[in-house]
Structure 1
């Protein structure tokens, strides 16, 4: 497995090949010093993942693929691991992905282990054949989420958000309601992963606070966790969110062109589903 296959070349090869986009993140933490993280998006059909899994799976991950595993669950496990290994390859190209294991923790959170991964964490999420992952230093906790935008979920998502959240987002984001609500949900779930609590707490505790547009798209703070910030993007029928500590604790440096390319990859991944 290579660390990155450009979105453009993969798209040109047809939908039977993986689409991958990796992005390194520069983190300036004044109390610690410069840090590095890596983000990756991947999309691949189940047949390709099954055929090539020996190139990126650790033996313990392979053991999770039992005969009783439903094809949808199998696809999610494989594409999630593949995206995470692509993020690892972008951050640590010297490591062999087959020697690195992502095992479920006691709360089903992904736990990364293997030589060269000390003090590294991983967060991942998938929606059908598409997955996103971020590998980060434990000193700078992060969380990531990916969801499909479905108008049929409007009523459910409305009940799981507050009127203030919806009003703040609508004032800043002129897009269909289903997208706004899904982006709110992504931000909350990404925060829950950064906090290591998952969705085991009242959703009001994860409420989104201030919303503003910025160079990297939509940015938010959180009503009850002021030390975190969230970045939100969407393309096609996919929405994603990344949560990390906010300044002054951490300043995130992202090249604008690379961030735009990452969003284009998200759009391509969504378009593949329509073919």
Structure 2
């Protein structure tokens, strides 16, 4: 893999198994982080895209949008492969719903959903049981985003962000990721007033930070930041998320590597 001054060919992939314990038997989910250049994704898209997905990748798409679409689908197929390695990723289709939410279908799949996010050439996805709705988000931490981020926070959230370790933009971006991940778990996206997605409380967590939400007490959020990438995962509060120590390290290290190697491409 090349350094940050050149466009890497890719792919860089890391997957993390997740165990969800609530009612009944523990459930399995899977998280995947992937990064690759647009050239690599274009050259290899026939190995992971369903025909319906391939139809979305047209020459009319701006290169940045094309890159994000391909990276997101690639990461999602990696997460799904962790759960179902026996299924050809080309047989799985992730189509946009009416609110642009990802809708998963495919022969051999039952009761499985997916949430995905991309930040330039880097993408993060989670595959999960539909009975345990989840949402994920990934963002570059950029100092010039502070005014826009602060304008979307409540006064209480701005105070919370200021108390977190790290810079102001890191705190604000972590809260933004959590709110966007919640909107994906709710399948409404950012079509609702941002104050409805407000964070209520923050506590330390082995993964980074654990949060609750002011208007959706039935959900919890996990925030993990490394390098210049912030990530968030939201899931039901009645579910206990178990991630082994080695897998927590994998998630953190993958963010750090991706942030270092793809910084230039991600911030263009």
Structure 1: gaps spanning 5 or more residues: 1-9
Picking from 255, 260, 264, the partner of 2:249 is: 260
**Separation in 2 of the partners of 1:242 and 1:11?**
29
Look up the SS of the partner of 2:49 in the other structure: coil
The answer to whether the Cα contact below 8 Å between 1:233 and 1:241 also exists between their aligned partners in 2 is yes
**Separation in 2 of the partners of 1:92 and 1:192?**
27
What is the deviation of 1:11?
Answer: 7.9
Picking from 214, 235, 243, the partner of 1:244 is: 235
* Correspondence 1:163 to 2:155: yes
* Correspondence 1:85 to 2:74: no
* Correspondence 1:193 to 2:184: yes
Residue-by-residue CA offset, 1:10-63 (whole Å, 9 max, x unaligned): 689x93221111011111122x42111110000000011111111101111111
Look up the SS of the partner of 2:169 in the other structure: helix
What is the deviation of 1:191?
Answer: 0.2
* 2:111 paired residue number: 119
The answer to whether the Cα contact below 8 Å between 1:169 and 1:211 also exists between their aligned partners in 2 is no
What is the deviation of 1:222?
Answer: 0.5
Structure 1 residues 69 and 204, CA, compared in 2 at 3 Å: closer, same or farther?
A: same
Q: Superposition pairs for residues 55-134 of structure 1, below 5 Å?
A: 55-134=47-126
* 1:6 paired residue number: none
Look up the SS of the partner of 2:80 in the other structure: helix
The answer to whether the Cα contact below 8 Å between 2:17 and 2:247 also exists between their aligned partners in 1 is no
- Corresponding pairs, count: 261
* 1:24 paired residue number: 17
Residue-by-residue CA offset, 1:78-127 (whole Å, 9 max, x unaligned): 00000000000011111110100001111111100001222111100001
* TM-score computed with the length of structure 1 as normaliser: 0.91
* 2:206 paired residue number: 215
* 2:223 paired residue number: 232
Could you say what the CA RMSD is over the residues aligned between the two structures, in angstroms?
A: 1.5
**Separation in 1 of the partners of 2:213 and 2:34?**
28
* Correspondence 1:175 to 2:170: no
The answer to whether the Cα contact below 8 Å between 2:122 and 2:262 also exists between their aligned partners in 1 is no
Runs of 4+ in 1 over 2 A off after TM superposition: 168-171
**Separation in 1 of the partners of 2:229 and 2:142?**
9
**Separation in 1 of the partners of 2:111 and 2:62?**
33
* 1:33 paired residue number: 25
